[in-house]
Structure 1
Amino acid sequence: MSRPTASAVVELAYSPRENALFVSAPDWQDESRSRLLRLAPDSLDIQAEVPLDGKGFGVALDDAANRLYLTQGFNGAISVIDTQGNQIVKRIPVMQKVNFEQLYQEHELSQTRRDFLLEQLKKWNVVDDFPYKLRELAIDADQHRLFAPGLGLGIDSVLFVIDTETLELEKILPGFGYNAVGIVTDPTRHRIFVSNMQGQIITLDSRTLEITGTLEVEADQLLNLVYDPATNRLFGVDQGIDRDEWRNNHLEREYAHRSPGHRVFVLDADSGKTLAVMPTDEVPIGLNLDTQRNRLYVTNRGGVRPDSAQGSVTIYDTEAYQPLQTLPLPPHPNSLALDAAGNILYVTVKNDGDSAKAGKPEHVVRIQF
């Protein structure tokens, strides 16, 4: 089943407790029309709309607490939603706008780096803006904390830590390298894993908030991660997008590629050792792990902003490390949510260039296995 849903849909979360599907629906033309949508999981009908004051992006669900957290990726804040009342509880600002030229001077960037960055920002007509972009979120309910990587715009990334009892910013942790994006928790061992775009996974103790290690891995661009606690394995998608110019500028050296990309990497969570590599279709982005059935679901965008795309979802056996099936889902399948009890997969499908120009809505898809 495929249902046109909004002008844009990004991430989604399934709530067994509420028997509902929550989807972030930013409006790129008029952010005042951005919403969080509550969908009926069987019909995908819209049951409720939560207005947002900024474009929503990543979501993380704390079902036991009836809360959904949502990054306002370009607005320097995280919103907290009551999933029973379908309303915003609080908007948590985590940063202020800065002047980028002043920021780069304060960080003592070299003149070469500053010249490159400021020239790029001029192309986007950006002088003053938020210094970090927010994408993904991870909850550690035992520690009453929410973690959100902040992707630094020309500066090293950080990790924002939110106290989920007070709903206040607790701390900003530095030291996460170039473009920290992926994050996943290991509540049993009190670990947080954060991946960046320079081939690293950084491990954090969720109790002390101390960085305990940095794993150099064979994947260059682990955009998103999932963790299997039973086997202590990390699964991550290595995108394969050309980021050389920006990355080399950030590192002030030529980055040596470790992978051709367009892969799923399976890693030992302690050592970072590669256990398996599984090829994907072009530009994998989202992944979801079904530990009950030993299945991994991966969305493949099918290109980087092409006019016409033929994206897909690939299903892997996580014991044999083999693809089982690839489902065409054009144009751009993006994010995933799983109803494990019902064996149902939900996918957001974004527009390619032609669909966007035609003003078509983006879709949510329900796949019953």
Structure 2
Amino acid sequence: RKRKPKKIVLVDTYLKENWAKKSKQELADDLGLQVSTIDVYLSRLRLPRHTVPTDQLKQYHNIHEGLSLRQQLKAQIEKVIKECWETETDRALALQLGVSTFAIRRYRLDLGLKRRVSPWSGRNERLIDRIKQIGELVVEDLLIKEGYTSTEVIRLHDIRTSRERFRQVIMKLNIKHSPEERMMPEWLIHRYARQQGNMNLADKEWLNEQLQNSFGIAELAAQLSVAEFRLAKIIHLFGLTHPSFRKLGRDVVNLVCASCGKEFKRLRRWVKRKEKMFPGSKFVCKSGCGNFRKQKKLKRLEYVKKHWPRLSDGELAKALGVGDATIKRYRAELGLSFDGAGSPIDPVT
């Protein structure tokens, strides 16, 4: 193990003896060092580096003359905590004594000094007053209608608080704020419009007029200097229509549901493709409408059960417009199978 140089040992000894009697500048002048170097030595020796009143340190030094350095520091910290813990925060005491806030808290709890009321207990009341000054209805409209989040409201009105505390306070004031309580899609439309820097986009009548006077979304987006995808989203949320849209105007076909008789629209190219692949197909407004799919499956099962002994799976699939795997699944559901010679087995036997 290497020994410490003699100079360092002398400096350490000198600092231990005089740190409480002299300032850092005086110690630096006596040792011929810089003040920053004195800070390094004090930190390594675990001595306070913050400036503390010299008279107070001399008083503690004289009282605890026979104690070790660690005991003197502990006695000093405990005395200051006992005197000031009710009027000062742990952080303020830590800065005054040159120790960490955690150390102050540990010393305070060891002395049995517990804070029943936080020195910041009035911040909720101040926050409530600030919200009432802004207006509870104004805050609620911003959160559920105007497209603002809690963090954005805090920044907008320069409220000095955290997002969680703000949430707790507005909940206490019965202000609607959660995502489930937002007025959709109005909240989303206002948010998109504000992001694009044009609040006119949140006006349905104005946007519809602009849309009808243009050839499409691309042209309107270029005129308004906004993102095309965001403009398309706003138009979709408003439910506006235009002949250039893919699912509206000349690109769709009006159909009648084969199950419930309801009128609906489908893409023309989609209808043509289905009629080409399956001539005579029927269309339904939705997949589960009137249990139409179940009825269709029952008819297919009946057809398979009737013709499976004399038709192969490929022929059945071609006749029903399905795949071979679907026919095999239908046969499995009906309990129809072939023996080793390829002859059909009667499910009764």
Same fold per TM (> 0.5)? no
What is the TM-score with the length of structure 1 in the denominator? 0.17
What is the TM-score with the length of structure 2 in the denominator? 0.18
Query: Which has the larger share of helix?
Result: 2
Query: Which has the larger share of strand?
Result: 1
Q: Pick the structure with greater CA Rg.
A: 2
